[in-house]
Chain A
Amino acid sequence: MRNGWLQPIADAVKLLFKEIIVPTNASRTLFFIAPMLSLAPALAAWAVMPFADGMVLADINAGLLYILALTSMGVYGVIIAGWASNSKYALLGAMRSAAQIVAYEIAMGFALVGVLMAAGSLNLGDIVRAQQGAWTTGWFVWPLIGLFLVYIISGVAETNRSPFDVAEGESEIVAGFHVEYSGMAFAVFFLAEYANMILISALTALLFMGGWLSIFPQSWAQTPYIGWLIGDGIHWFLLKTTFFMFNFLWFRATFPRYRYDQIMRLGWKVLIPVTLVWIFAEAAAIALGWKPWLS
């Protein structure tokens, strides 16, 4: 067809019908558990995501903690896949991934600590509601700009996307942890990667950019006919999520890949110190009661 819009569908159909080859020396059980283990947490995390005010599957108070716990599970899929394949390239990919996740999970966790300190809640809905204000002044991205950048960077690293894609690094270790996978097992890894990408984008929108909140003042929502467009709603959330997803692709097209030790250096020596300092400054600001920045 013209412009190739059927191509993704053709790819999916092809992967569905291809044989899944299991290497002779692979550990069969683990080999099949790994892709499931990487996709399931990425999908399960959506349970606590509020798409709009009240539009959430499970409105639990420990929502952020739940997400943090689930996204950490995803790395087991990568490590187990690398180990179970019994291939040198895959093992290298798994080792790289393990080291990388440990480093960036800390930075990401600290960035989230900053958000929950500012919001005073672990409930994602409450976090968004805490960001209400005139125009966009209430958004956490302004007072927490440093943590926001750290979160974006470690989000890209967590999802193993370029320029941090050393776990698959196709020009170095061919495809890294999923080099031995084919057919649907391979497709599940791919789905997991993209599901994680969307998840991180949605989280960034919720935590820093006010989720479903409109960029216009509340009073404008009374405008006839287009009021629903201007006012808060799911479309704002989707718009912000799409923006971050676009960034993921943009990064991949623009940046060369970091080397494995350089990623470690960035994680441990730059991102973690930045978050630590920022959290202390934020704690001091909260203790001194500096408003209106932090409610």
Chain B
Amino acid sequence: MPEIRNYTLNFGPQHPAAHGVLRMVLEMDGEVIQRADPHIGLLHRGTEKLAESKPYSQSIGYMDRLDYVSMMCNEHGYVLAIEKLLGIEAPVRAQYIRVMFDEITRILNHLLWLGAHAIDIGAMTVFLYAFREREDLMDCYEAVSGARLHATYYRPGGVHRDLPDTMPQYETSRWRGQKDVDRLNEIRQGSMLDFLEDFSRRFPGCVDQYETLLTDNRIWKQRTVSIGVVTPERAMQLGFSGPMLRGSGVEWDLRKKQPYEVYDRMDFDIPVGVTGDSYDRYLVRIEEMRQSNEIIKQCIKWLRDNPGPVMLDNHKVTPPKREEMKADMESLIHHFKLFTEGYCLPEGEAYAGIEHPKGEFGTYIISDGANKPYRLKIRAPGFAHLSAMNEMACGHMLADVVAIIGTQDIVFGDVDR
């Protein structure tokens, strides 16, 4: 008699729903998942090891490339750990700018998540809507750092430079006539803050738009309600953080519980779920976008009224001004030293965790007193979430695995590092 065996399906690494390079070996009984075995490492770039061979400030760019949809938040975690070990603090204006860009990044991340999650479940339009708004936020990244994705904008001791007074403009091309360009540039005439303020006024309406397509949609609910349920106890045991933990009903948010930068001056709420299923996590993230928008508004208001330095005046850590450098010998020396050997951190270790859009993003630096870290350990939130894949997917159907990957908001840049 032939032996009856389960069906093994190789899901990924080249799969439209694999969110990059997730490879899963699924053991299935018909369409029902018996075991899901995620394989990682296909996007391993050795970020932690690379950082050991470079002066501290040269590794900031690598942090952008960890979770490549929430770039500045990664930088924030790293920069904060360095500042902690150096015992310095960024000027208040820089802290506000950081908070503002953290929240812009949170919206960027959640928009991508929403689009990808919806398209995994089969709803196409949400994806297009989400990318329309992402474009505007990318323009803010571009205005402030010159790069749309990998900004390298946060520096130990502040941020690279103050917010710009102009926005990058669209130009005419073979595909875009003068009329289109004028329409696109209309909101880009003022400073970056004007543009962002206009965006924050428009954005709640956009979220309503996504919600009309999904929140009360019968099919969307059938596909997400009671899929991938995680109890609050289990979520904590598994090391969940961020919306994955809050979706299960645990009210834990580093922005409130261990405020860093100026989050203690901000007025916002933490949404929590009830049942811990995919639908609750969806609602939590949608509400987080609205709350982030509120934080951005508060930051814009403060930043308009309070000009000031955005970088520390301590030239052992931060580069001197360009014009000073031309005339002042000490500044020239500082500049040369900073951009060749960097700065040394005192011997010791420091951990800085921030509320990354996906959860707690932690950076742990051990310094032996040199200009390079002795060891850098990155705690990526996605790693813990992916580890729960088997538990969340067992007993569900193949189509639900896709929904669970979506709800976990997996990005392989930070899982594999």
Enumerate chain B residues within 8 angstroms of A172, measured Cβ to Cβ.
17, 398-399, 401-402
Q: Which residues of B contact A259 (CB under 8 A)?
A: 222-223, 397, 399-400
CA distance A89 to B15 in the complex (A): 11
Known: A256-B217, A257-B219, A259-B223. A92 touches B121 (CB 8 A): no
Q: Which of A88, A89, A173, A257 makes the CB contact (< 8 A) with B121?
A: A257
Chain B, Cβ-Cβ closest to A89: B9
> Does A253 make an interface contact (CB < 8 A)?
yes
Chain A residue contacts of B124, Cβ below 8 A: 162, 252-253
Looking at the complex, which of A32-40, A110-118, A138-146, A163-171 is the stretch in contact with chain B? A163-171
Interface string of B8-23 (1 = CB under 8 A from A): 0110000111000000
Bound state CA distance, A261 and B217, in angstroms? 18
Cβ < 8 Å to B, chain A residues 152-191: 162-163, 165-166, 169-174
- Which 10 A-B pairs have CB atoms at the shortest separation, nearest pair first? A257-B122, A171-B17, A256-B123, A256-B121, A256-B122, A259-B399, A171-B120, A256-B219, A172-B399, A256-B220
- Is A255 located at the chain interface by the 8 A CB criterion? yes
In the bound complex, what is the Cα–Cα distance between A261 and B24 (angstroms)? Answer: 23
Contact B7 A260 (CB under 8 A): no
Q: Does A29 contact B (CB under 8 A)?
A: no
Known contacts A92-B398, A262-B222; is-contact A171 B121 (Cβ 8 Å): yes
Q: Given the interface contacts A174-B15, A255-B219, does A169 sit within 8 Å of B122 by beta carbon?
A: yes
A258 proximal to B (CB < 8 A): yes
Once the chains bind, are B398 and A261 in contact (CB under 8 Å)? no
CA distance A253 to B17 in the complex (A): 18
**Which residues of B have CB within 8 Å of A163?**
122, 219
CB-CB under 8 A from B119, the residues of chain A are 171
**Of A162, A174, A252, A254, which one neighbours B16 at CB under 8 angstroms?**
A174
Are A171 and B7 in touch, CB under 8 angstroms?
no
Question: Is the Cβ of A255 less than 8 Å from the Cβ of B222?
Answer: no
Q: How far is the CA of A174 from the CA of B214 in the complex (A)?
A: 23
A269: Cβ under 8 A from any B Cβ: no
Q: Which residues of A contact B397 (CB under 8 A)?
A: 259-261
A291 CB-CB contact with B under 8 Å: no
Minimum Cβ distance to chain B for residue A183 (Å): 20
B residues contacting A by CB (< 8 A) are 7, 9-10, 15-17, 31, 118-125, 175, 213-214, 217, 219-220, 222-223, 397-402
Complex-state Cα separation, A253 to B122, whole angstroms? 9
In the complex, A171→B404 CA distance in Å? 12
Residues of A within 8 A of B16 (CB): 170-171, 174
In the bound complex, do residue A255 and residue B15 qualify as a contact, i.e. CB atoms below 8 Å apart?
A: no
Further pairs besides A172-B17, A259-B397: 6, Cβ < 8 Å: A171-B120, A171-B402, A173-B398, A252-B124, A256-B214, A256-B217
Question: Looking at the complex, which one of B17, B214, B222, B400 makes contact with A258 (CB distance below 8 Å)?
Answer: B222
A88–B9 touching, CB < 8 Å = yes
20 contacts between A and B (CB under 8 A): A162-B124, A169-B122, A171-B17, A171-B121, A172-B399, A172-B401, A252-B124, A254-B125, A254-B213, A255-B217, A255-B219, A256-B220, A257-B121, A257-B219, A258-B222, A259-B222, A259-B399, A260-B397, A261-B397, A262-B222
Knowing A254-B213, A256-B220, A260-B397 are in contact, say whether A171-B31 is a contact too (CB < 8 A): no
Nearest CB of A to B185, in Å: 20
Bitwise, A220-263 to B at CB < 8 A (1) or not (0) is 00000000000000000000000000000000111111111110
CB distance from A97 to the nearest CB of B (A): 13
Residues of chain A within 8 A (CB-CB) of B122 are 162-163, 165, 169, 171, 255-257
A165 to B223, CA, bound (A): 14
Complex: A261 Cα to B400 Cα, angstroms: 11
Q: Is the CB of B9 within 8 A of A254?
A: no
Question: Given A88-B7, A165-B122, A174-B16, are A257 and B175 neighbors across the interface (CB < 8 Å)?
Answer: no
Considering only CB atoms, which chain B residue lies closest to A91 in the complex? B7
- B393 CB to closest chain A CB (Å) equals 13
Closest to B18 in A: A171
What separation, in Å, do the CA atoms of A162 and B223 have in the docked complex?
14
Residue numbers in A under 8 Å from B220 (CB-CB) = 256
Check B31–A260 contact: CB distance below 8 A: yes
- Docked complex Cα distance between A171 and B116 (Å): 10
Bound Cα distance from A162 to B124, whole angstroms: 10
Give every chain A residue within 8 A of B10 (Cβ-Cβ): 88
Please, which residues of chain A bring their CB within 8 A of the CB of B399?
166, 169, 172, 257, 259-260
- Distance of A163 Cα from B214 Cα, bound (Å): 14
Cα A278 to Cα B399 with chains together (Å)? 33
Question: Complex Cα distance A124/B401, Å?
Answer: 45
**Residue of B118, B223, B398 with highest tally of chain A CB at under 10 A:** B398
Interface bits A57-99 vs B (CB < 8 Å: 1, else 0): 0000000000000000000000000000000110010000000
Task: Choose from A92, A165, A254 the contact partner of B31 (Cβ within 8 Å).
Answer: A92
Return chain B residues, CB-CB under 8 Å to A162. 122, 124
Min Cβ gap A90→B in Å is: 12
User: Is the CB–CB distance between B118 and A256 below 8 Å?
Assistant: yes
Q: Which of A89, A169, A257 has the largest number of chain B CB atoms within 10 A? A: A257
* Cβ–Cβ < 8 Å partners of A254 in chain B: 123, 125, 213
Could you say which residues of chain B place their CB within 8 Å of the CB of A253? 124-125
Cα A115 to Cα B395 with chains together (Å): 43
Residue of B nearest to A2 (CB): B175
A266 to chain B, nearest CB (A): 10
Residue numbers in B under 8 Å from A261 (CB-CB): 31, 397
Name the B residues within 8 Å of A169 (CB-CB): 122, 399
Q: Provide the bound-state CA to CA distance between A258 and B217, in Å.
A: 12
Give chain A nearest CB distance to B172 CB in angstroms.
13
- Report the separation of the CA atoms of residues A256 and B401 in the bound assembly, to the nearest whole angstrom: 15
Complex-state Cα separation, A171 to B398, whole angstroms: 10
A172-B17, A174-B16, A253-B125 are contacts. A258–B9 as well, Cβ < 8 Å?
Answer: no
Distance of A169 Cα from B121 Cα, bound (Å): 9
B219 neighbours in A (Cβ, 8 Å):
163, 255-258, 262
> Do residues B223 and A256 form an inter-chain contact, with CB atoms below 8 A?
yes
- Residue in chain B with minimal CB distance to A3: B175
CB distance from A263 to the nearest CB of B (A): 10
Given the complex of chains A and B, what is the CA–CA distance between A252 and B398 in angstroms? 21
Q: Which residue of A lies closest to B121 (CB)?
A: A256
A262 to B214, CA, bound (A): 18
> Closest chain A residue to B177 by CB distance?
A2
Chain A residue nearest in CB terms to B128: A253
Interfacial chain B residues near A252, Cβ < 8 Å = 124
Q: Are A255 and B123 in contact (CB under 8 A)?
A: yes
